[in-house]
Chains A and B, each alone.
Chain A
Amino acid sequence: MNDEIDRSLFRYVWKHSRVQQIWILVIVALSMPTYFLAFDIPKLIVNGPIQGQGFETVGATQKVLPVAIGNPFGDQSLTLFEGFELDRMGALVALSFAFLGYVIINGLFKVYINTYKGRLGERMLRRLRYQLVDRILRFPIAHYRRVRSSEIATMIKDEVEPLGGFIGEAFAQPAFLVGQAGAALLFIMLQSWMLGSVALAILVIQTALIPRLRGRLRQLALQRQLTARELSGRVSETVDGAVDIRLNDSSNFERSDISTRLAKIFFIRFNFYKAKFLIKFLNNFLAQFTPFVFYLGGGFLAIRGDLDIGQLVAVIAAYKDLPGPIKELIDWDYQRLDAQVKYTQVVNQFDVSPLAPADSQAVQTDQAPGLTGPITFRQVSALDDSGNTLLNALDLTINLDERVAVIGATGGGAEIVADTIVRLVAPSSGTLNIGEAPLASLPEWQAGRRFGYAGAEPFFAQGTARDALMSGLRHAPMRPAPEGMAMNAADKREAGASGNPVLDRQADWIDYAAAGVNDEAELAARITNVLRLVGLEDDIYAFGLRSNLSDTATETSGAMILEARKKFLDRLAKGENASDVDPFVATKFNTHLTLLQNLVFGSVSAPEFLSEDFSADSPLWTILAADELDRRFYQIGRNAAAIIVDLFGEVSDNIQILERLDLIDPDDLSEFEAALRQTEGLDFPEVAPEDRQKFMHVAFNYCEPRHRLGLINDDLCEAVVASRQAFRARLPEHLASAFAFHDPDEINPDVSLQDNILFGRIADERSGAVDRVNALLREILEDLGLSYSVIERGLNYDIGTGGRRLSLSQRQQLGLARVLLKRPQFLIVNRGLSALDARTVEKVIQRALEMSKSSSDGFGVLWVTATESHSAMFDRVLNFSRGELVSDEAGKQFVRQPVPA
């Protein structure tokens, strides 16, 4: 495939859709005769059967609808069919039906042509968009720093969109319109050369004048496109930087900036409309000027008898069809210029060189051949964008089986060594070879599979943790998609017709061989292994335990979970720390649950109950009133509020304590103060419903061991427990069906896996209870062979856009795990764990180095870090400072044998 995208839109269209464009021209040409004939018929009907020309005598007949080929004016035509011999009424019927027939044929032609054009346009649009994205994937690395993603996205999404419509019509539309206009004009000429000449003269003025006026419109349209694109870039920057903007109180500067841009866009658009409507006026005027001449001049001729009325009617009828095509033709011409401008605008942005050659990213389902070392730097220097030296004349040889620590402060050149090896930074001078060949010539598919690079800010697309891990293994469609999911023949044909690749997105893209495994089960083991290595296993495990049972459909069956629950409770009861968990017992108040949780004693997966915000008309209030719990909850809530208002009312410095308590929002303190005053001394029935509910809300979240305000007594606990069953029965039907009770013999799909197994709450005031419970839980899941299924659930955790639901350290760990999973031949970690504490990093390095020494899938390592103490674990230590290699020595742990000369 040629790497150039044509600068001329027409050349581009012609190159990719020649055959289709010619075909459509042929169809347009074929549609012309009927189009022309349709004009003639009204005149024949009016002059013939209606006015009676040729039917002057009773019983007279005429031949109608002859078929002839050749010169329609002269005698030389070849008459194929002389026509039907019909009387006046018969001729009227025949001619009218012929008219109808032509209308239908013209209509059908139009349908076919428009559909064909539409498909052609959409295909070309698909091709263009695909080509643009393809080019993005092949941009030189440094270019990514210069482009704004949202602008690029706007270009591909919005700016090329109108081109699709235009491309489909690029050749056919003008041909069709010229044909139409020509036919109409020719017809007028045939009827009256005088009127025809007038129409032609005005036409010439129109076509010459209007495009000239539109020059300004075009210019404005271009500005409109550019400013809109910049606006979209700016808005997305505002979103990305919103946190910083607000932390620095610069939101008003953003407001003013956006407003200034909007003003600019407004004036461009306003001027555009002014020009547009002025031109429209001129255009309409010229179009209507012609009928003015026809009525005056044609009428004059007709009255004098130089023109028969039928002819004049036909001329006027034909003229009706002239301004339309002409106007459209002028519009088309405008669109052409506009499309060309837009096209050039967009294509220029994507005309970056040097693009990575397409074959460097070729689809390879085979294993990538191994790299042959060593990596040799000879006098390699690198500069940043502003010309500062990052790396100065480096001479260095690294074998692909070495384990090297590269030490240096940020900006000292250490990270540049890593970046040049994976070609994120191109050397400005010097030679950088791998084996005998220049490193730059290494195809991307080989480098991408054989080098493993973990940087400080790994990128993850929106998806699950598993998707993030697998993203390093999706090299090629390895195995076809399951039956029924695969691309069908039509999909493939369309892809081909638009120059898109026939790569099935639904295929299984996971390269098991790259991960060194044969199937899903082995992959699972490897994933666990790698997660443990980077220290992320516990986190993922915790995600799994915390995920709601109904969240992910994994194979953990309810029976298994119940068994785990039974085993867990069994072991807990037998152990020394039986009271680490406060179990759910239907007949007992659970002090570790809030009051409301104690009452509900289960979960209601309905929106009314999911949020803690119960509206004034929530069924909850009436249910509570039934057992007079409302009065007691109100009293507890009011007492709690009174204590809190008393403690925090005046002191504003200790707000964070209040926030931690999670009973009353600090912002609502004054509201509660007012409510307390209003309800002072009132009996419950006298209190306004809003105030009642306000205080009851506080009571709902109250939990004695946590808040310790001493507001709950045994009597209340008994009352709450007594109401549990009744509560369930009183729920309205739609809520009752969404309700799951804490039943020892049932799983509850709406709470987490952990809660399902513990079937209780951890008594977290007992020192070490959380750790002990977690350890026991793990042990039991391990015993039951459920460990991986928990991890699997954890891997289904949605990590958010760019992994934002993970901490930076978790993202870095996940990034390293992704790289290790694909078994690189040479691992490069470029400050890839900078967010982790030194002790954890040390452990990770140790385990990674151990893995690198394994016989089957060992690898070389280059680890860039600022922490010198880690260097002891490596075979070789390079120290960088100010872009220079200052020392190159064997690691302290391992003394290298001197190489024999």
Chain B
Amino acid sequence: MSLEEDALALAKVELFANVAPRRLKLLALASSRVLFEGGQALCVQGQEGDEAFILISGEADVSIKSANGVAVVARLKPNDVVGELAILRDMPRNATVTAVTDVATLRIGKQDFLNLLKEFPEVSIEVMRALAERLVRTTTELANSRAAAKSEN
């Protein structure tokens, strides 16, 4: 778990595809390794958080709690990013991420991430793309559930 490995891991993250390798090394230096055991939560829905995690090894489930119970919506694999959206606005986490196996992560602090966004607009665009995708999905789901509700009446 050296800096070189961490920088390489960051380079594989889609979000950071356009960031200069040297800058990624700096980001790796500013971040810290955090280990989670299977079953431990990386973040909990509804709680405040000002850090993002990059999965280095292991897998984690994303689950969302709603009125209908808890639903697992995605499985994260190495090089996936967790919690980058909570950094942009001081809002509670919108999902719970639980380690399925033992998980090694790189934790990126809020300020370091924001600095990176400022320096590399490409990263911001990536983040926007992710947001847009999520918006589209949410809108579709909303429309679907409205339609479902109407047909029930």
Contacts and interface: CB of A to CB of B under 8 A. Distances in A.
B26 A654 contact: yes
Nearest to B109: A660
Contacts of A657: 26, 29-30, 112
B22 A647 contact: yes
Interface stretch (A18-26, A541-549, A739-747, A760-768): A760-768
A101 interface: no
Interface stretch (B32-40, B64-72, B77-85, B120-128): B32-40
A384 B25 CA distance: 58
A660 B29 CA distance: 10
B141 interface: no
A648 B29 CA distance: 11
Nearest to B119: A653
Contacts of B9: none
A661 B32 CA distance: 11
A708 interface: yes
Contact of A705 (B6, B33, B115): B33
A480 interface: no
Interface in A639-695: 643, 647-648, 651, 653-654, 656-657, 660-661
B3 A765 contact: no
A765 B34 contact: yes
B148 interface: no
B22 A708 contact: no
A710 B119 CA distance: 27
27 contacts: A643-B3, A647-B22, A647-B25, A647-B29, A648-B26, A653-B115, A653-B119, A654-B26, A657-B26, A657-B29, A657-B112, A660-B30, A705-B1, A708-B1, A708-B2, A708-B28, A708-B33, A709-B2, A709-B3, A710-B4, A765-B33, A765-B34, A766-B34, A767-B35, A767-B36, A767-B37, A767-B42
Interface residues of A, number: 19
Nearest to A705: B33
Contacts of A656: 111
Given A656-B111, A765-B34, A708 B40 contact: no
A467 to B, nearest CB: 35
A651 B27 CA distance: 13
B40 A768 contact: yes
Contacts of A768: 40
A654 B115 contact: yes
A710 B37 CA distance: 24
Given A710-B2, A767-B40, 11 more contacts: A647-B26, A654-B26, A657-B112, A708-B6, A708-B29, A709-B2, A710-B3, A710-B4, A765-B34, A765-B35, A768-B40
Interface in B1-52: 1-4, 6, 22, 25-26, 28-30, 32-37, 40, 42
A656 B2 CA distance: 21
Contacts of A653: 115, 119
A651 B24 CA distance: 13
Contacts of B3: 643, 708-710
B24 to A, nearest CB: 11
Interface of B: 1-4, 6, 22, 25-26, 28-30, 32-37, 40, 42, 111-112, 115, 119
Query: Is chain B's binding surface mostly helix, strand, loop or mixed?
Result: helix
A766 B105 CA distance: 10
A651 B26 contact: yes
A427 to B, nearest CB: 43
**Closest 7 CB pairs between A and B?**
A710-B2, A657-B30, A708-B3, A767-B36, A765-B33, A767-B34, A766-B35
A653 B30 CA distance: 13
A656 B114 CA distance: 13
Nearest to A710: B2
A765 B32 contact: yes
B4 to A, nearest CB: 7
B7 to A, nearest CB: 10
Nearest to A765: B33
A656 B115 CA distance: 11
Nearest to B30: A657
Contacts of A765: 32-35
Contacts of B28: 708
Contacts of A708: 1-3, 6, 28-29, 33
Contacts of A651: 26
A365 B112 CA distance: 59
A765 B106 CA distance: 10
Interface string A710-730: 100000000000000000000
A766 B111 CA distance: 22
Nearest to B42: A767
A705 to B, nearest CB: 7
A767 B44 CA distance: 14
A836 to B, nearest CB: 15
B85 to A, nearest CB: 20
Interface string A760-779: 00000111100000000000
A883 B112 CA distance: 46
B102 to A, nearest CB: 11
Contacts of B22: 647
Nearest to A650: B22
B72 to A, nearest CB: 20
A139 to B, nearest CB: 46
Contacts of A705: 1, 33
A776 to B, nearest CB: 17
A651 to B, nearest CB: 7
Contacts of B29: 647, 657, 661, 708
Contacts of A660: 30
Interface string A28-72: 000000000000000000000000000000000000000000000
A662 to B, nearest CB: 12
Contacts of A706: 32
- Give the one of A651, A654, A660 with max B CB within 10 A: A654
A708 B29 CA distance: 8
A666 to B, nearest CB: 14
B94 to A, nearest CB: 19
A648 B25 CA distance: 11
Contacts of A661: 29
Contacts of B32: 706, 765
Contacts of A654: 26, 30, 115
Interface string A430-445: 0000000000000000
Contacts of B1: 705, 708
Contacts of A767: 34-37, 40, 42
A483 B3 CA distance: 66
A824 B35 CA distance: 49
A658 to B, nearest CB: 9
Nearest to A579: B35
Nearest to B28: A708
Most B CB within 10 A of own CB, among A657, A709, A710: A657
